[in-house]
Every structure is written in C-alpha cells, then in structure tokens.
Amino acid sequence: MALLNILILLLAVSSAAVRADEDPFIGVNIGTDLSDMPHPTQVVALLKAQQIRHVRLYNTDRGMLVALANTGIQVVVSVPNEQLLGIGQSNSTAANWVSKNIVAHYPATNITGICVGSEVLTALPNAAPVLVNAMRFIQSALVASDLDRQIKVSTPLPSSLLLDPFPPSQAFFNHSWNPVLVPMLNLLQSTGSYFMLNIYPYYDYILSNGVIPLDYALFKPLPPNKEAVDSNTLVHYSNVFDATVDATYFAMASLNFTNIPIIVTESGWPSKGDSNEPDATLENANTYNSNLIRHVLNKTGTPKHPGVAVSTYIYELYNEDTKPGPLSEKNWGLFDANGDPVYILHLTGAGAVLANDTTNQTYCTAKDGADPKMLQAALDWACGVGKVDCSPLQQGKPCYEPDNVIAHSTYAFDTYYHQMGKSPEACDFNGVAAITTTDPSHGSCMFPGSLGRNGSSVNITAPSMNSTSASSSYRIYSNGALRSILTVIRVLICSVILPVERTEMFRH
C-alpha cells in the first residue's frame, strides 16, 4: 500500500503543470543593518552598474522606492513581521498599507511582488493564525486597485518546514502547519502566485554533522558515484539546492498542489565567520554564489523539473555589520558599504548579471580634447553638488600636480564614478568624460579605483536625485578667483546641472 501511494504521488508530480515558459533571473536582497547605509541613489547606481534587474526589499522604504522609480528594476517589497498582526486582523489596515506603500509608487516603481512577512511560521509563530488572512487582505486591496494581475502576493518560508527532505520524493511539510499551509497554497494557486522558499545549504551542511559533503553543498561538480540518488525515482542530485527545490515540489504534491511554481527568495553563503565557523570563507562564498548564478541562468531547472525556472534572490547585496549574532551573520554580502566587491565572482561568460564585477578594473577620466570650459564646469559640479572630496587637489596635497583642469577633472570624475557604483551613466559629465581600463593614478596620487582593490575606498553620501544646490564645502579647484567666479556664473547661466545617478538559526 505504501508503495502504491508513492507511485501515485510520483505520477502526480510527473504530470504537474509547473510553468516552464519563463526565463529564470537572479536578483538580490537588500538588507539595511549597516552602520553606514549607502544613500538610496548609491544603491540604485550599484544595481544598475551590476545590471541587477530584480531586487527584494525587507520593507517599503520610501527613499528606496523613489530611487528605484523609472529604472525598470523589478521590485519585491515586504510587509515586516511586526506589522502582520495589525494587517491580518483588519481589512482596512491592509487597504491603507497598499494605498500608501504600493499605489503611491506604482507604476513608476516597477513593483512586481509583495512578501507578507518573512518566515513567519518559525520566526513569529504567534502571528501564524493571521498570516493567510493578511495575504488575503493584501490581495483584496490589490484587486480593488486593479493591480492584482501585475503584483503577486506570497510569503517566504524556510526550507526547515520540510520533514524528511531526502529523498525528495518522500518529502512532506511539518503536518502541524497544515492548517496554515493548505489555505495558503489554495490562495497561491487561485491567484497564480508562486511559492517563496528560502534555501540555505550552508546551514544544511553545518547541521548535518558530516552527512552532507561540503562539495555537495557548494554546487561543485561531482562524479556520478558521489551524487545522491532518490531511491524512488532513481534521479541523481549533485547539490543541496536542487534537492531542496524538488523536495518542496513533492511536499506540495502530497497536499494535492502540483501547479504552483517556486521562486527562491533567499540563498547564499557567508564569507567570514568566527573560529567555530571554519567553512564561512571567501572562497566558499565565491564558489557557492558563482555556481548558483550560473546554475539558475543556464535554465537547467532541477533533475525532476528540467527546464523549469528557479529564479533566485541572492542573500545579499551588502555585508550588514550591525546584524546581531555570530560573525557569519554580518558577512553574507556581495559588496561592502562602499560598493566594493567582497570577492570577485567566478562569472566569466555567465551573462550580464554582475558582469561589471570582474578583475578588469575601470576608471572614469576626462576626454582628450574636451572643452576646458566644460571640464571646469563639470569639475565644479563634482566638487560641489556631487559631494566629491576634492581636498587631495589642493596645493600641497598628493593630487595637486599637475595643476591643470584635465588632471583635476579626471580625479573628481573617477571619484564620483566609483562612489556611484561605477554606473556607466555616472561617467558622462555632459560628454566630457569616458570610461577606461587604464589606471590614471600617478606618483603618490592614488585614485579610488586603485584603492578599492586593496579594500579601501571613499565613502561619500550621494546628493538627492533632484539636488541642484552646492554643499557648504563647495570649492573650485583652479587657478585664480576670477576664473572661479566666471565659472560659477557660467554654470548658472548655462544651467549645467549634471544628472545624479547614482537564517534560519539567527536571521531567518
């Protein structure tokens, strides 16, 4: 009888109508537990420079939503766990939340999904009874605003809800949560939404007490005799990620849901840990995330669902130095607060995402033959409104010589370019600047790009997207007060305003 049930279940999963017509994507989560959180325009500049087109926010921060407007970047926002009880008990509270945080920003900000809480069943179990109500109320508010077809509602769940996850064909959810999971899955199915899943092979590996090999957790290639085999399906698994995704599909099928697609809302690997966390290393983090990105974008799918997209959001964009818990909790980021990569991903030929994160360093310099007057105006803007620290250009400082507008502009342009995350739009300056791979540093004058490779860089808060006024520290670095005054007048008359573009154990 048990064998018959397994065969029926396998047949159901094999005939599942999980959508395979969508291209997979890689996105990033953006946490904010940083002592020096970059300005939203800096965050967006970094996203654009790295060609990241999908992001997940843990809230609905207005500054971020405004900065993301008109970028085309697809945004998933979140109802924080602490707001769940209020929203889950009041339809009007949910409607007000949608009006304030969604309708007010859409469609300029391309919001495509709403995470109602995060890992609520394990992180905030007392809110579990109202979770599905909160999702329904949010969905109803979207319907009332005619946004339900554009914006999907779901809730991220941890893979720890799976019991007996291997072999995947025998996986099932913790039955104690069925009173929540069944109506939730009904809602996801009826609205055409997706199952949001957080997968952390790092923790699976640590908690397995040696049962899970490190290479199996890291996506490293394995010979067939080292792969894990599902004894019921005879399907081979070469990594934890795929096995967990397929186990989730089987667990949903055991509850008679076979057509809900999965999207992975969190996955990653820490790059540093305490002395008792020896596998939280730069190399392991690089290996996992590089392999994950390639695996998702090559449209392989999973062994049981080949070709079915498993779009994934990497945890996370920045290292969060104020995150509580062990050292590893602070070191999941791809970048530090300055926008410098924590490690250089092994992504040669892997596509456009994070393509700028390579060993080929780029710089922004003044164009040869550019109009000196335009260069001076751009220099003045960069050292003023652009908030570039131009003090190294003062007499007696490392970058004063050579004392000419081309050399000084190049320093200011490159500094601004790097503080804006090396976005191509940040190296234009009305056509007088260009990107190059030649390091313009000279003598003791080291440019930000050169410093960044050694782990040091400038950290300047970007001005507002609409800022046109100079800061109190505005200075003009050129010979002669008269030339300075004339330049300011020229700037005002010509209106040269340059565009500013600028777990489960502890976290989850």
Name residue 113's beta-bridge partners.
76, 152
Domain that holds residue 127: 26-330
* pLDDT for position 457: 34
Copy the structure tokens of residue 300: 């392989």
CB 48 within 8 A of CB 329: no
* pLDDT for position 309: 86
Interior angle at CA 375, CA 370 and CA 376, nearest 5: 145
Among 22, 82, 266, 320, which one carries the catalytic annotation?
266
* pLDDT for position 449: 59
Q: What is the mean pLDDT of the segment spanning 220-240?
A: 91
Among 22, 82, 119, 277, which one carries the catalytic annotation?
119
pLDDT digits (tens, 9 = 90+) for 171-181: 999 999 999 99
Q: Which of 330, 351, 386 is the last residue of a domain?
A: 330
Residues 6+ positions from 78 with CB-CB distance below 8 Å: 56, 57, 58, 59, 60, 114, 115, 116, 117, 118
Q: Is the pLDDT of residue 114 over 60?
A: yes
pLDDT digits (tens, 9 = 90+) for 367-413: 877 899 999 999 999 999 888 999 999 998 889 999 999 999 999 99
Q: What is the mean pLDDT of the segment spanning 29-44?
A: 95
Residue of 507 and 23 predicted with greater confidence: 23
Sequential DSSP letters for 133-200: HHHHHHHHHHHHTT-TTTSEEE--EEGGGEES-SSGGG-EE-GGGHHHHHHHHHHHHHHT--EEEE--
Of the pLDDT bands very low, low, confident and very high (cuts 50, 70, 90), residue 344 is confident
Copy the structure tokens of residue 505: 């154990």
pLDDT digits (tens, 9 = 90+) for 169-212: 999 999 999 999 999 999 999 999 999 999 999 999 999 988 99
Query: Do residues 298 and 400 both lie within one domain?
Result: no
Q: What residue type is 410 in one-letter code? A: T
CB 13 within 8 A of CB 167: no
Query: Do residues 210 and 101 both lie within one domain?
Result: yes
Closest CA to 293 of 347, 222, 218, 238: 347
Task: Please check whether residue 121 lies inside any domain of the structure.
Answer: yes
pLDDT digits (tens, 9 = 90+) for 233-276: 999 999 999 999 999 999 999 999 999 999 999 999 999 999 99
Q: Helix (H) and strand (E) counts for the chain?
A: 16, 15
Task: Please check whether residue 351 lies inside any domain of the structure.
Answer: no
Task: Please check whether residue 271 lies inside any domain of the structure.
Answer: yes
* pLDDT for position 506: 39
Which residue is listed with tokens 């060993």?
A: 359
Task: Please check whether residue 213 lies inside any domain of the structure.
Answer: yes
pLDDT digits (tens, 9 = 90+) for 418-459: 888 887 788 889 889 887 766 788 777 887 755 543 333 333
Task: Please check whether residue 97 lies inside any domain of the structure.
Answer: yes
Q: Is the pLDDT of residue 359 over 60?
A: no
CA distances from 64 to 39, 75, 230, 290 (A): 9, 10, 44, 27
Length of the chain counted residue by residue: 508
Task: Please check whether residue 505 lies inside any domain of the structure.
Answer: no
Query: Do residues 424 and 319 both lie within one domain?
Result: no
Active site (annotated) includes residue 227: no
User: Considering the chain, what is the average pLDDT of its residues?
Assistant: 83
- Packed helices 128-144 and 91-98: angle between N→C axes, nearest 10 degrees: 50
Closest CA to 470 of 350, 403, 380: 380
- CATH code for position 57: 3.20.20.80
Active site (annotated) includes residue 119: yes
Q: Model-level pTM?
A: 0.70
Interior angle at CA 439, CA 437 and CA 445, nearest 5: 160
Of the pLDDT bands very low, low, confident and very high (cuts 50, 70, 90), residue 11 is very low
Counted domains in the chain? 2
Copy the structure tokens of residue 347: 């992504």
Q: Map residue 145 onto helix, strand or coil.
A: coil
Task: Please check whether residue 258 lies inside any domain of the structure.
Answer: yes
Percent of the chain with pLDDT over 70: 81
Q: How far apart are CA 3 and CA 97, in angstroms?
A: 49
256-274 in b/e form (b: 16+ CB < 10 A) is ebbebbbbbbbbbbbbbbe
* pLDDT for position 299: 87
Query: Do residues 379 and 480 both lie within one domain?
Result: yes
Query: Do residues 324 and 383 both lie within one domain?
Result: no
Query: Do residues 259 and 367 both lie within one domain?
Result: no
Task: Please check whether residue 506 lies inside any domain of the structure.
Answer: no
CA distances from 118 to 56, 57, 58, 195 (A): 12, 11, 8, 13
Query: Do residues 229 and 311 both lie within one domain?
Result: yes
